[in-house]
C-alpha cells in the first residue's frame, strides 16, 4: 500500500529545509505504485529528492508525489537500468566499484534520476545525455507508458524534450564505458574538491544553482560583477564563494529566498539587460507575496512601483 500523509511538513524533504504543510504527500515504493497514483490524475507535482525545489513557507494546498523510495538499479555488464528515484551519488559509487565510467560527475549531485534526466544534468564535461539510451515514461494525458530514445529526447543544456511536459520518467537505461578504479576515483575526487571549493555543502540548506547560465556566459560571473556575494534577506544569504547559490543560514523563509532572487534577477537585468532564468522550481499557492515575487522573477508579470 502506498504511504500517504496529510498536512505533511514538507521542509523535512527539501534540501533547502524550507516549507510549510502540504495538503497531501504520497511516497510510492515501486514503479507500479507510482503508475497507480498517476492513473488517478489527482496529484499536481511529481518530485524526486526535492534538491532543486523551493517550497512556500505557507501551507500549500497541493497534492504531491515524492519518488525517492523508487530507487532500485542494476547492471548487465556495461548497461545500467535505474529507477527514477535513485540518487546520483549512490549510483556513481557503484559504477566506480564496477570500473564503469560516465557518471563520475554525479558523485556530488543530490538529485535523483527522474529530474536529472528531464534537465539533462551536467558538470565537468559530463552529462546525463552522454550515456543515455532510453527512458520509460508515463504520459499523463493519455495514461499510457511510452519509451523514448535519445534522439527523441533532444537533449541540450539543462533541457530535454520532456522537461515541463506531460511525461513522467519511470526508469531509464544507460550504457557506460570501461575504466579503471584508479582513474574513476581520481576524477570523482577532483569533482568533489571542485564542489567543496566553489559550492556550499548541505550543512546549510540550499538548492544548488539558483539561475541557469545564459548562453555563452555564466550566471555566477554576472552576479559576482553585480557584487551580490554575501547579500542577505532575513535568514537567507548569497554564498560568499559563488554568487549563484543561496543559503538557508538562519531559519530562512521562502519569501526571504525569493526576495534575494528578485535582487539578483533585477541587478543583472538592469546592468546587463540579461534576464536570468531560474534553475530551481517554486511550489506554492497563488495570491501570496511569495508567488508574486516568483512571477516577477520568471517574467510572467511586471513589477509595479507603489
Is there a catalytic annotation at residue 17? no
Helix axes 88-97, 181-198, angle to 10 degrees: 150
DSSP secondary structure code for residue 4 in this structure: E
Quick check: 162 pLDDT over 80?
A: yes
Q: What is the pLDDT of residue 302?
A: 40
Per-residue pLDDT, 306? 22
Sign of CA dihedral 10, 12, 14, 17: positive
Outline where DSSP puts E strands in 84-208. Answer: 100-101, 122-123, 126-127, 132-139, 144-149, 167-175, 177-178
Q: How many distinct helices (H) and strands (E) make up the chain?
A: 9, 18
- The per-residue pLDDT for range 116-132, each reduced to its tens digit, is 999 999 988 899 999 99
* Integer CA distances (angstroms), 63 to 40, 101, 191, in order: 12, 38, 36
Query: For residue 129, what are the contacts with CB-CB under 8 A and spacing of at least 6?
Result: 120, 122, 150, 153, 155, 160
Stated pTM of the model? 0.91
| Catalytic site residue from 154, 173, 185, 279 | 279
Q: Give the Cα separation of 45 and 8 in Å (integer).
A: 15
Asked if 246 and 148 count as a contact pair (C-beta separation under 8 A), the reply is: no
CA atoms within 13 A on the CB side of 44: 10
- The chain-wide mean pLDDT, for the chain, equals 94
Domains and CATH numbers, the chain: 3-66 (3.30.43.10), 73-195 (3.30.465.10), 219-297 (3.90.78.10)
Percent of the chain past pLDDT 90, that is, above it, reads 87
Catalytic residue flag (residue 193):
no
Cβ(84)–Cβ(171) below 8 Å: yes
| Cα–Cα dist 236/170, whole Å | 34
Contact assessment for residue 137 and residue 223, using Cβ atoms and an 8 Å cutoff: no
Average pLDDT, integer, range 45-53: 94
Q: Any residues with CB less than 8 A from the CB of 182 and at least 6 apart, and which?
A: none
What pLDDT is recorded for position 228?
A: 98
Q: Name the nearest CA neighbour of 121 among 52, 192, 60.
A: 52
Q: CB pairs under 8 A, 24+ apart, for 303-306?
A: 303/266
Residue in 209, 231, 255, 259 annotated catalytic: 209
Catalytic site residue from 17, 98, 136, 158? 158
Q: What is the mean pLDDT of residues 288-303?
A: 82
Q: Which H or E run contains 183? A: helix 181-198
pLDDT band at 300 (very low <50, low <70, confident <90, very high): low
* Cross-strand pairs, 76: 79
* pLDDT, tens digit, 9 for 90 and up, residues 58-109: 999 999 999 999 999 999 999 999 999 999 999 999 999 999 999 999 998 8
- Reply yes or no on whether 279 is catalytic: yes
Question: In whole angstroms, what is the distance from residue 166 CA to residue 138 CA?
Answer: 8
Return the C-alpha cell found at 31: 514503479
Cell triple for residue 63?
497534492
Helix axes 289-297, 254-272, angle to 10 degrees: 30
Amino acid at each position: 500500500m502506498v504511504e500517504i500523509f496529510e498536512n505533511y511538513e514538507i521542509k523535512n524533504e527539501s534540501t533547502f529545509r524550507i516549507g510549510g504543510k502540504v495538503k497531501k504527500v504520497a511516497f510510492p515504493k515501486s514503479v507500479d505504485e507510482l503508475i497507480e497514483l498517476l492513473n488517478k490524475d489527482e496529484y499536481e507535482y511529481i518530485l524526486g529528492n526535492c534538491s532543486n525545489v523551493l517550497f512556500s513557507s505557507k501551507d500549500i494546498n497541493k497534492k504531491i508525489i515524492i519518488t525517492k523510495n523508487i530507487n532500485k538499479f542494476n547492471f548487465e555488464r556495461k548497461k545500467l537500468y535505474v529507477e527514477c528515484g535513485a540518487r546520483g551519488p549512490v549510483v556513481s559509487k557503484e559504477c566506480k566499484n564496477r570500473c564503469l565510467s560516465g557518471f563520475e560527475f554525479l558523485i556530488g549531485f543530490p538529485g535523483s534520476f527522474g529530474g536529472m534526466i528531464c534537465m539533462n544534468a551536467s558538470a565537468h564535461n559530463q552529462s546525463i545525455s552522454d550515456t543515455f539510451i532510453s527512458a520509460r515514461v508515463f504520459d499523463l494525458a493519455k495514461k499510457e507508458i511510452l519509451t523514448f530514445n535519445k534522439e527523441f529526447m533532444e537533449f541540450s543544456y539543462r533541457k530535454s524534450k520532456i522537461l515541463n511536459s506531460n511525461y513522467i520518467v519511470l526508469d531509464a537505461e544507460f550504457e557506460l564505458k570501461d575504466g579503471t578504479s584508479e582513474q574513476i576515483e581520481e576524477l570523482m575526487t577532483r569533482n568533489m574538491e571542485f564542489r567543496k571549493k566553489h559550492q556550499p555543502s548541505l550543512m546549510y540548506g540550499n538548492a544548488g544553482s539558483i539561475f541557469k547560465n545564459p548562453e555563452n556566459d555564466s550566471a555566477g560571473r554576472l552576479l559576482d560583477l553585480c557584487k551580490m556575494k554575501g547579500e542577505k534577506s532575513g535568514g537567507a544569504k548569497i554564498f560568499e564563494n559563488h554568487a549563484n547559490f543561496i543559503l538557508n543560514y538562519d531559519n530562512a523563509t521562502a519569501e526571504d529566498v525569493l526576495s534575494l532572487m528578485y535582487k539578483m534577477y533585477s541587478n543583472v537585468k538592469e546592468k546587463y539587460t540579461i534576464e536570468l532564468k531560474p534553475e530551481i522550481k517554486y511550489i506554492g499557492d497563488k495570491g501570496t507575496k511569495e508567488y508574486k515575487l516568483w512571477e516577477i522573477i520568471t517574467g510572467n508579470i511586471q513589477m509595479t512601483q507603489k
